[in-house]
């Protein structure tokens, strides 16, 4: 597909998803021509890459499925999966699905108590687990375990062992059968197991492909946890349906090395990746000569004009086109090369992408398609289309998705991808799922005349100042993290007189920005320095310039330690766990509200 073409051709993967009777059909009921094509790619310890063909993966899945049967696992039983993205995760998942059991992914970033809560709540019968740290989380668990790797008894070894050939006897499940329990991130309280059937997920794969076509020659680079519904549907099931190849990044920290190596055409990511790319560019511009900043600004202006014209089917005039080609080579080409040079689409989800960051990428001829969904909806509900991108939105509804906006602005959704409910929690299910099938998303939205959705904030996270003004925290935080000096930010405002923030500085970016602005080194005690605080507040206000005055941060405090998943302060899709952060920094927050106010 050419960027700028708003038509969505009917790709072969869409046919695969529509005709499949179970998720395992996406792997097994595929054209013979795909059998010898590479399906999975992974990096070896020596730095080289190994590819597995579809036929090899099919054989491994059937053998591992037979191992499950040998342990007494039967259709409908729950089987847990704990580990980083890799071919063994893929093989174990499809083995579970093929023999009619239910996959229960656990997050590898979760502590032992959270992992064991999921295992106990789902009442699992067996566990596939990565060696080392992940295996240690299962101490005291008395269930059949199969490690990912190892000499004899592992997913990798059994997947190669011909002695298991022909041993699997379970028939493939029907579309209506339960396929997976995906536990919600648990920003408050215990997570809930979202029940999704084969039909829910197959329908969502088809809906996604009805909005954004994917082809046999596409190459995905996988780095978001496959245990999360976004990566599992769009970066796991969808490319399998399309005959595409999936390459596994070694880690999030190796992306800058893996992207040029793999040269992906499609990547699935949450906004944090794009925010870091943007912040990195801004930092380099701040420390570079003025001419570099002027060329960048001109390239962005002309690039956005080009993008908007192409949206309408037009092109730049000959003089501007020539200037664009020159600026593109000088300014944008190196950035695209760092991403592998072949990106056909960044699909953004998990949270709203700030429109300025989307425009920055689009102006650099890097296609980014903001979308939206929930674990409870398998998950994708909407996505921008090539040639019809509105950066401030998450796009229109995908095929088979119905949207309705409640009186208070909450988005309601209906469609065959909506969950069956929460595992063994009928009361919690009734709170969000109406009897007539409408799911209450909890997101406050605005809808334009073309049906494009703009996410305002989470209904439960809207904060109300003591004067009655409504404050959407995520909107403010999106503005703040555009600064190269800010790594993370969380605002506080509920029942307070004004907005304050906790700020995790990006140390190197902070130093460079200060040096550029003040022409002086950063003071040794800069976290307490009044001049630095005044300068930082001004930088924050510059980023908030388009927000109402009551939404702008009035005071802030520096937080020295980055918030991570490992310390329980971020969800797997890198959203803030606000309650946990608020509790941890309660004294610091109180100090931001002087007693005399």
HEC profile for 142-190?
CCCEEECCCCCCEHHHHHHCHHHCCCCCCCCCCCCCEEEEEECCCCCCC
209, 233, 254: which is the final residue of a domain? 209
Alpha carbon 546 to its chain's center: 27
Q: Which residues contact 550 (CB under 8 A, 6 or more apart)?
A: 465, 467, 469, 471, 498, 499
In a domain, 504, yes or no: yes
Q: Give the CATH number for residue 557.
A: 3.30.300.30
Burial of 597 per CB tally in 10 Å (0-12, 13-18, 19+) = exposed
148, 177, 209: which is the final residue of a domain? 209
pLDDT of 5 reads: 36
Alpha carbons 242 and 30: distance in angstroms, whole number:
9
pLDDT of 19 reads: 95
Q: 1: pLDDT confidence band, cut at 50, 70 and 90?
A: very low
265 touches 57 (CB < 8 A)? no
How many other C-beta atoms are found inside a 10 Å radius of the C-beta of residue 9? 9
332 touches 297 (CB < 8 A)? no
181, 209, 237: which is the final residue of a domain? 209
Tell me the residue range of the domain where 124 lies. 12-209
395 touches 369 (CB < 8 A)? yes
Q: Which two tokens stand for residue 596?
A: 């005399």
- Provide the number of structural domains found in the chain: 2
Q: Which of 185-199, 267-281, 443-457 has the lowest mean pLDDT?
A: 185-199
In a domain, 110, yes or no: yes
pLDDT tens digit sequence for 520-566: 888 888 988 889 999 999 999 888 877 888 889 999 999 989 998 88
In a domain, 445, yes or no: no
Alpha carbons 423 and 206: distance in angstroms, whole number:
25
Q: 185: pLDDT confidence band, cut at 50, 70 and 90?
A: low
275 or 178, which is more confident?
178
In a domain, 34, yes or no: yes
Share of the chain above pLDDT 90, in %: 73
Q: Which two tokens stand for residue 585?
A: 């920094």
In a domain, 329, yes or no: no
pLDDT of 457 reads: 80
DSSP state of 300: H
DSSP state of 44: -
pLDDT of 6 reads: 42
In a domain, 276, yes or no: no
pLDDT of 4 reads: 32
Q: Which residues contact 83 (CB under 8 A, 6 or more apart)?
A: 89, 108, 128, 129, 130, 134, 148
Q: Give the CATH number for residue 23.
A: 3.40.50.12780
Share of the chain above pLDDT 70, in %: 97
pLDDT of 464 reads: 77
Place of tokens 């071919």: 87
In a domain, 495, yes or no: yes
DSSP state of 351: S
In a domain, 178, yes or no: yes
pLDDT of 347 reads: 95
Alpha carbons 354 and 443: distance in angstroms, whole number:
16
Cis peptide leading into 379, omega within 30 of 0?
Answer: yes
383 touches 360 (CB < 8 A)? no
Of the candidates 220, 250, 59, the one whose C-alpha atom is nearest the C-alpha of residue 155 is 59
* Average pLDDT rounded to a whole number, residues 317-341: 95
pLDDT of 566 reads: 81
Q: Which of 148-157, 175-184, 465-474 has the lowest mean pLDDT?
A: 465-474
């Amino acid at each position: 597909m050419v960027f700028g073409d708003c038509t969505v051709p009917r790709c072969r993967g869409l046919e695969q998803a529509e005709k499949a009777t179970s998720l395992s059909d996406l792997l097994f009921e595929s054209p013979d021509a795909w059998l010898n094509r590479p399906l999975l790619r992974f990096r070896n310890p020596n730095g080289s890459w190994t590819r597995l063909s579809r036929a090899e993966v099919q054989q491994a899945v059937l053998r591992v499925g037979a191992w499950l049967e040998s342990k007494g696992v039967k259709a409908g039983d729950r089987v847990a999966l704990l580990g980083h993205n890799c071919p063994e995760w893929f093989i174990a998942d499809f083995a579970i699905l093929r023999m009619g059991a239910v996959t229960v992914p656990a997050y590898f970033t979760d502590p032992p108590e959270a992992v064991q809560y999921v295992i106990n709540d789902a009442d699992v019968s067996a566990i596939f687990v990565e060696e080392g740290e992940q295996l240690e989380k299962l101490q005291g668990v008395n269930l059949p375990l199969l490690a990912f790797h190892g000499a004899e008894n592992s997913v990798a070894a059994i997947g190669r062992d011909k002695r298991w050939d022909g041993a699997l006897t379970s028939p493939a499940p029907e579309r209506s059968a339960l396929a997976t329990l995906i536990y919600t991130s648990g920003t408050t309280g215990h997570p809930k197991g979202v029940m999704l059937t084969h039909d829910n997920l197959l329908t969502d794969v088809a809906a996604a492909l009805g909005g954004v076509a994917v082809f046999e020659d596409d190459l995905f680079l996988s780095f978001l946890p496959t245990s999360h519904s976004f990566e599992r549907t769009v970066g796991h099931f969808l490319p399998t349906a399309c005959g595409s190849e999936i390459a596994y990044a070694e880690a999030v920290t190796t992306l800058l090395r893996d992207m040029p190596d793999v040269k992906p055409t499609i990547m699935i990511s949450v906004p944090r990746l794009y925010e870091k790319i943007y912040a990195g560019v801004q930092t380099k511009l701040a420390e570079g000569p003025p001419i570099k900043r002027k060329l960048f600004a001109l390239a962005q202006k002309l690039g956005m004009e080009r993008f908007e014209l192409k949206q309408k089917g037009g092109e730049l005039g000959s003089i501007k086109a020539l200037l664009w080609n020159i600026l593109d080579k000088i300014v944008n080409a190196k950035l695209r090369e760092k991403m592998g040079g072949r990106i056909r689409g960044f699909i953004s989800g998990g949270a709203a992408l700030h429109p300025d960051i989307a425009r920055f990428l689009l102006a650099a001829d890097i296609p980014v398609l903001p979308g939206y969904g929930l674990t409870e909806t398998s998950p994708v509900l909407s996505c921008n289309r090539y040639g019809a991108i509105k950066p401030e939105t998450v796009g229109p509804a995908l095929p088979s998705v119905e949207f309705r906006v409640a009186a208070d602005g909450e988005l309601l959704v209906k469609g065959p991808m909506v969950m069956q409910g929460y595992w063994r929690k009928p009361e919690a299910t009734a709170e969000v799922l109406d009897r007539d099938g409408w799911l209450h998303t909890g997101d406050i939205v605005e809808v334009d005349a073309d049906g494009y959705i703009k996410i305002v904030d989470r209904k439960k996270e809207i904060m109300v100042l003591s004067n009655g003004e409504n404050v959407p925290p995520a909107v403010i935080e999106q503005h703040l993290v555009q600064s190269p000096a800010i790594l993370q930010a969380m605002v506080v405002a509920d029942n307070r007189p004004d907005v304050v923030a906790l700020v995790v500085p990006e140390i190197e970016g902070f130093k460079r920005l200060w040096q550029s602005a003040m022409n002086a080194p950063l003071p040794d005690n800069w976290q307490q320095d009044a001049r630095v605080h005044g300068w930082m507040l001004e930088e924050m206000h510059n980023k908030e310039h388009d927000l109402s005055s009551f939404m702008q941060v009035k005071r802030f405090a520096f937080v020295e330690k980055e918030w991570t998943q490992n310390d329980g302060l971020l969800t797997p899709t890198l959203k803030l766990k606000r309650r946990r952060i608020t509790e941890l920094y309660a004294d610091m927050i109180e100090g931001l509200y002087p007693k005399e106010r």
